[in-house]
Chain A
Amino acid sequence: GAVVSQHPSWVICKSGTSVKIECRSLDFQATTMFWYRQFPKQSLMLMATSNEGSKATYEQGVEKDKFLINHASLTLSTLTVTSAHPEDSSFYICSALRPGLAGKELFEQFFGPGTRLTVL
């Protein structure tokens, strides 16, 4: 399957600082990427849809000024958590969408390994 990477895999920061997480599709171009977060024992919750060359689409309840998303190229989307607070501590996962092969799934979504953010 296709490969999606995330960097860093974990980060610890002080309250009030900003943290940038990168999501890269390594072997395919992704015009659409998604950012999810997962709290312990909870499901993956979609935060926003990142579209290359245009503004991200945020889900209801997600502050766009706090979670800045930039999809600057077809292989890279970044999520910046601005002025992070302890309640932002979570596991952030990105995914990249690739059109499915003819005759198979309509689309394929490949997930990154996730980034564990801990805000002290």
Chain B
Amino acid sequence: DQQVKQNSPSLSVQEGRISILNCDYTNSMFDYFLWYKKYPAEGPTFLISISSIKDKNEDGRFTVFLNKSAKHLSLHIVPSQPGDSAVYFCAAPPGTNSGYSTLTFGKGTMLLVSP
């Protein structure tokens, strides 16, 4: 059972345009979400997070939106740059009440930003 789903395996965007990466989840206990960026042959690096008490979190060019009723979140990158080309993973811990714990990852979306 895949609790975190990223249904688009890839996305191509032109430089300067907006990139929108989507993530859906099924576990209503999830209340905190993270986005990671991963280059080939490297470990993931943390990008941005959002708590369920918010519906939007912004950090520079990156904004994450959370729609709890739809169990959906999205990562917006504006403007997109070629250096943003990477695989983006959506992840969630099982629940803040469980304390520090592991992450459930989506399968990732490969973003390609062309000049």
Contact = CB atoms under 8 A, between A and B. Distances in A.
A and B interact physically? yes
Interface of A: 1, 4, 6, 32, 34, 41-44, 46, 49, 91, 93, 95, 97, 99, 105-114, 116
B43 A113 contact: yes
A108 B42 CA distance: 18
The size class of the interface chain B forms with chain A is 20 to 34
B43 A106 contact: no
Nearest to B110: A41
Closest 7 CB pairs of A and B: A111-B43, A43-B107, A107-B100, A43-B105, A44-B105, A113-B43, A111-B44
B100 A113 contact: no
A114 B42 contact: yes
Given A1-B45, A113-B43, 10 more contacts: A4-B43, A32-B100, A41-B9, A43-B107, A44-B89, A93-B44, A106-B100, A109-B103, A110-B46, A113-B42
Contact of B45 (A34, A46, A111): A111
A43 B43 contact: no
Contacts of B107: 42-43
A41 B107 CA distance: 8
B96 interface: yes
